[in-house]
Amino acid sequence: MNAPFESRSVESGSHGSPTAVLASLSLEEKASLTSGADFWNTKAIPVAGVPAMLLTDGPHGVRRQAEGDDHVGLHASVPATCFPPAVALGSTWDPELLTRVGKALGTEAKAGGVSVLLGPGINIKRSPLGGRNFEYVSEDPVLTGELGAALVNGVQSRGVGASLKHFAVNNQESDRLRVSADLDPRPLREIYLRGFQKVVTAAQPWTVMCSYNRINGVYASEDPWLLSEVLRGEWGFTGLVVSDWGAVNDRVRGLSAGMDLEMPASGGITDAQIVDAVKNGTLDETVLDTAVARVLDLADRTAGVRVATGNGTSFDVDAHHALAREAAGRSIVLLKNEDGFLPLDPASTGTIAVIGEYARTPRYQGGGSSLVNPTRLDNALDAIRAVSAAEVVFAPGYVPGEDAPDTALISGAADAARGAGTVVLFLGSELESEGYDRTGIELPAAHRALLDAVLDANPATAVVLSNGGVVATNDWDHRVPALLEGWLLGQAGGLATADVLFGRANPSGRLAETIPHRLQDTPAYLDFPGEHSHVRYGEGLFVGYRHYDSRDLDVAYPFGHGLSYTTFAYANPALTADDGGIMVRVDVTNTGTRAGHEVVQAYTSVPGSAFVRPRRELKGFAVVRLEPGQSATASIRLQRDDLAVWHSALGRWVLEGGDYTVEVGASSRDIRQTATIRLDGDDPTAPLTRDATLIEWLDHPVGGPVLSRILQDSATAGNQLAAMLNEPEGRALIGSFPLGRLAAFPGSPLTPPTNDELTARTDG
């Protein structure tokens, strides 16, 4: 072994191979490379040519800490483009757009010397109360996976690593460092891991960040099933697993499980634990070598970042702001538009009352570690004044962050509304942040009081929402002619909002999560956020629209919904099947007078399925842009892997054979065309054992005939049992008995040796 940090001839990580560098390192040096040097940087070993790497937030903008800033970096960071957070980008349903955003993020990260950008976040929105939902894409894993892969591909195309997070089942902030997400295998695989699987297999992120929480009692940071068996073994992940900041519970156990890099620094404490474990034989040094090799490989992959930094690389601030504006405009969802209230005519004179402090002081991102210091910040009030020929008056109506209504501000807003021809009212929620969950989905009391006063004064009001999690609209949206879901739109959201309000941009956003009438209607209502550091995922597969649609439960606005200033017609659905799944083709025509984007959504169901299934599930989508009167064929690939279900008894994915109904539409509740196709499936037959029931034996293609012959050959007792099984009552009474247990009954024609013989005869 070499002495720690002695001078050697190995060149820098970008010149010497990772294998050669690894061979040159001492045990202590290797252990040191598996934890951070400080809050954001990995350790360097200059004499061995190992560089430090800078890892930094965030998913929608580069939050690089300024020199001399606080160690966490929450209060200030180097200016960067604040793109719309994932809650907004998810509503674009557009992988091409998200790839461009990812490229811009990668460019800015590279310009700042950032080796790994900590994002995207793709956890499923299980409950609208999730405090970090604004950082996540959707309630659906297929949409989440497609958009997540686009962001990763974009970032990494610039030579910067992405960090897919938070792996896995990280769906709440309550007790987030300890809580155990307790759920069954099918929802775990089909809902909560499927999006990660899609991103890993399609985009190979250079790092994956393991989450704080436990999964069925085991910390994600030390779960060999999750990090090694599934992530690496099944999905073929080749990158590095990094901990969320402070997610390590037992460092040696985590290293053995496949958690390579602990962040932030531990002051050398956990490095010493690893060294001691190797020396006392409780940790094989080859396990450490594997983790170090991954760290070195990441340093090699990101070598271009350090070269670019030395050459003074920069980025085009104006171009990135324009992209942020485009993405924000594409994220806005037009929920309601009675009698064509919108768009407003920019040439119209008169008076427009813009009401709500968010119009002047925008809420454009959520709280916590993803806070970005924007390069500039637009506001909707200035943008409306710039585009409209009307006189624009303004009233704040409320103080951001204050829940109690301000009588004077509300009175002034009502007066402004009363004297205007049109009102644009900016409202929203204020409690989305890392670290805590929301307590409800209602508008703040101050906003609701303002809404009532303004509508009483002037019903000609368009409402613009700014929120990181859904807000209930059921008891007031019937009073407004137009409603825009503006989410959190990043630094250019003000201009983008004006673009949509005045028709310079045609709204094309579609909901990536359902807006329910009430919190009590939501699928996780009775289980969220759990108790005593456990949360039960009692809704199983029925998350989001899967729950609402399967129960025929009325909602405010369904998954996939979004209006346009034009209209689209669907025709001629055609399905073809191949080894890769189903290809869906449908003709879409712009039947209106404006150019626009349509998001064509394909949902599947399997009538008569042997598996419990939701009423419909999104399996593919396509975005088409059409001029007025133009038609195009939307082609949507429904991948075989996405059509498969997790067979808990077999412990593997199974494509069920049979007739698949494909519903094509503009939301999960707006189905325009339906077609059916038959697929040849996998063999879903479970192996027979002594624990298999009589019915399972009789239904088995091999075991059934064998058991029937034995019953026929067993004289009176066997005939009596066969007769019982031929009657509905008897089949219900005796059919659910495991065969091995029934064999022990007095007088049973099936003795234990006979059951063993049966098992042997059906092994094939």
| Rounded Cα–Cα distance for residues 352 and 560 (Å) | 31
Nearest Cα residue to 556 out of 669, 455, 665 = 669
Alpha-carbon gap, residue 508 to 282, rounded angstroms: 57
With beta carbons less than 8 A apart as the criterion, state whether 398 and 409 touch. yes
Cβ within 8 Å of residue 722, ≥6 positions away: 708, 711, 712
Q: Contact 213/169 with Cβ under 8 angstroms?
A: yes
**Nearest-CA neighbor of 460 among 481, 485, 484, 477?**
481
- Read off the tokens for 685: 């037959």
Residue 4 DSSP symbol: T
244 is catalytic: yes
d(CA 268, CA 435): 27
Residue type (1 letter), 151: L
Amino acid at 640: R
Closest by CA to 655, choosing from 719, 701, 609, is 609
DSSP conformation class of 519: G
Q: How far apart are CA 724 and CA 271, in angstroms?
A: 67
CA dist., res. 707 & res. 703, Å (int): 6
Helix (H) or strand (E) holding 96, with range, is: helix 95-111
Coil, helix or strand at residue 156:
helix
88 residue type, one letter: A
Which amino acid, residue 124? I
Residue in 57, 244, 477, 499 annotated catalytic: 244
Q: Are 88 and 331 in contact (CB under 8 A)?
A: yes
How far CA 47 is from CA of 12, 27, 260, in Å, comes to 9, 15, 22
CA 605 to chain centre: 22
CA separation for the pair 75, 109 (Å, rounded): 19
Q: 154 with 108: CB under 8 angstroms?
A: no
Q: How far is CA 226 from CA 42, 135, 208, 355, 540, in A?
A: 24, 23, 12, 50, 19
Reading the block at residue 570, the tokens are 């669907």
Please identify every residue annotated as catalytic. 244
